Amino acid sequence: MSHRIFVATLANNVRGLTRSSSQAWRLLSRSFLPESQQKSLLAYTPMFHSKMFGEKSNYRDAHFQPLKSTIPSPVDDYHLSQLRDSDRHLDGNPAFDRPLTVQFCSNDPDDFLRAAKHVAPFCDAVDLNLGCPQGIAKRGKYGAFLQEDWDLISRMIRKLHEELDIPVTAKMRVLETPEKTLAYAKTLLDAGASIITVHGRRREQKGHNTGLADWKMIRHLRENLPKDTVIFANGNILQHEDIAACLEATGADGVMSAEGNLYDPTIFAPPPPVGQEGREYWRGRDGKGGYRMDAVMRRYMDIIHRYALGQEPPQRKPLWMPGDVDEPVEQENGRSEDADDEEGPPKKKRKQMSKSEKKKEASNPNLTAMQAHLFHLLRPLVAEHHNVRDALARSRTADIDAFENVLALVEKAVKEGIQKYELEHVNDAAPVSATEDTSTSPSTEPLDPYESSLATVARVKRPYWVCQPYVRPLPKEAIEKGSMTMSKKEKKRLEMEAEQAVQKGDEQVKDVGLVPEGRVEEKGFLKDGEKEEVVVVEEPRDGLVCG
């Protein structure tokens, strides 16, 4: 087998799992909305590098798969006329992945247009990222580091506005003053941006200096831009309740959730009414709850099976919930077909895989994206159940069975947690109606950042088995909190624990390849001829939102 054919074969096998991770996550996020609302969630793709995307077909194929075949280049009417609906693949598929905006970073109008033309037939709009604050964006001169060069930004947006078949939108950060921010937003709109997404943080606000997004600045834009301007607000969305608060405070048309969704993909879904939790949602006696991690991971795994691997997911028993009768012994052989047995602990019934399937998955060496998503989703759970953490960490290069095993462990951990909770609260009243205290939502908090983030931690904290945002308490307030309620000794112990937990968390994140400062990859791409050209591509930090 020639070297190049081997590479192509391998790449094809890998394509499925690696690339569809973000598409699978979009599907997962939509799946929690009522059917009628699934189309009312506008999703953005990850940010692609416009120069690479426009020039390298293998970069395109690796990052965006609207078709089962490669994206035709150029994408003209003739090529499109040769395509049929049945040629569509995952990204931008009208059946389940729309509306969709494809996002690029760019610093050249021609690059931007060339890249955009390749995706225009498969999405609803193209977005220019002007918000990425990371060091690599600085070195590559894109993202938020263009915000001094309004002329270049205008030329890029105008180019697409005039020459692309679909609308162009832009995502910006706020600047130092309301006046400057308004002038900046006007520049984007005048150049032809159909929608502006405004992140309420300045470029400097990242890492430890993240702080709170400034919703007032977005409000200022709303009140001073023409009334029909479409504005999306971005920042401070930690849980579902924050969406309504943000719409109210900013007057924006839509709310974009970034990291909030990464930790809690159910964030867009309204909680079910009290008494209608079903098996997937858990509500505590205090009325606070969330979607169960085992339920969410099941859905995620099913999507991976169905869309990335193209196979039916294994049959699953109904999720365990309090009141179910425990079946004491694992059923190894006999009675294996009573799948519709409603009662009983979650047991994996794994479909026996054919040899060829196993081989295919063995050549699917990189499940890093799935793993990273799951570490975010399961963060509070793996902090308490180290067996789950270890199993997930080991799943890095393993096949789908390893992840199924993690799911089984997650189901067990969730069950343990809920059972313990039930025992401890056996005499409490039934769940009350959820009384989220909206007065503590970020917009109306007059507290200093330390105190407000302390309040935020308290507000969003949930038991480890339900999805929740991750808010790292600042060291200062952790100490303050301790001194108010605990003895010195106890305080010391808790501080140590908290520190270790945070460190451990960071290690886990590093373990799965989420390096803090992004990564530099040297990638060779075959240029027109046979000569190999090494292109250094810096990609932003994994698992974070770039804007």
Partner 1 sequence: MGENISVDIARAIKLIIDVIRTFLITRFGGAIAPAKSSRLPRRYLAVMATESTLAGQENERKRKLHGRAFYESIGSPKLVLAPMVEQSEFVCLIASL
Active-site residues, by number, are: 132
Of the residues 2, 5, 77, 437, which one makes contact with partner 1 according to CB under 8 A? 77
Q: Please tell me the count of residues contacting partner 1 according to CB under 8 A.
A: 94
Nearest CA to 440 out of 421, 457, 463 is that of 457
The whole-angstrom separation of Cα 198 and Cα 194 is 13
Contacts of 339 (CB under 8 A, 6+ apart): 315, 317, 349
539 in contact with partner 1 (CB under 8 A):
yes
Q: Cβ(471)–Cβ(448) under 8 Å?
A: no
**19 membership: H or E segment, kind and range:** helix 3-31
Site residues for partner 1, window 339-398 (CB under 8 A)? 365-366, 368-369, 372-373
Phi/psi of residue 390, each to 5°?
-65, -40
| Residue 497 burial class via C-beta count within 10 angstroms: exposed 0-12, middle 13-18, buried 19 and up | exposed
Site residues for partner 1, window 132-171 (CB under 8 A)? 161, 165-167
CB 545 → partner 1: shortest distance, Å? 5
The whole-angstrom separation of Cα 162 and Cα 191 is 10
Which residue's CB is nearer to partner 1, number 121 or number 417? Answer: 121
The whole-angstrom separation of Cα 242 and Cα 248 is 10
Structure tokens at 184: 């900046």
Nearest CA to 292 out of 425, 407, 429, 456 is that of 407
Strand partners, 453: none
Nearest CA to 376 out of 500, 265, 454 is that of 265
Stretch that binds partner 1, among 230-238, 305-313, 324-332, 451-459 (CB under 8 A): 230-238
Which residue's CB is nearer to partner 1, number 87 or number 312? Answer: 87
546 in contact with partner 1 (CB under 8 A):
yes
Stretch that binds partner 1, among 208-216, 344-352, 460-468, 531-539 (CB under 8 A): 531-539
Which residue's CB is nearer to partner 1, number 486 or number 537? Answer: 537
541 in contact with partner 1 (CB under 8 A):
yes
Of the residues 191, 398, 460, 545, which one makes contact with partner 1 according to CB under 8 A? 545
CB 101 → partner 1: shortest distance, Å? 8
- What single DSSP character describes residue 134? S
201 in contact with partner 1 (CB under 8 A):
no
Of the residues 1, 5, 84, 334, which one makes contact with partner 1 according to CB under 8 A? 84
Binding mask 11-50 for partner 1 (x = CB under 8 A): x--xx--xx-xx--xx--x---x---x-xxxxxxxxxx--
Structure tokens at 236: 């401070």
Of the residues 135, 251, 254, 287, which one makes contact with partner 1 according to CB under 8 A? 254
Cis before residue 99, ω within 30 degrees of 0?
A: yes
Of the residues 181, 197, 205, 395, which one makes contact with partner 1 according to CB under 8 A? 197
Site residues for partner 1, window 259-288 (CB under 8 A)? 261-262, 268
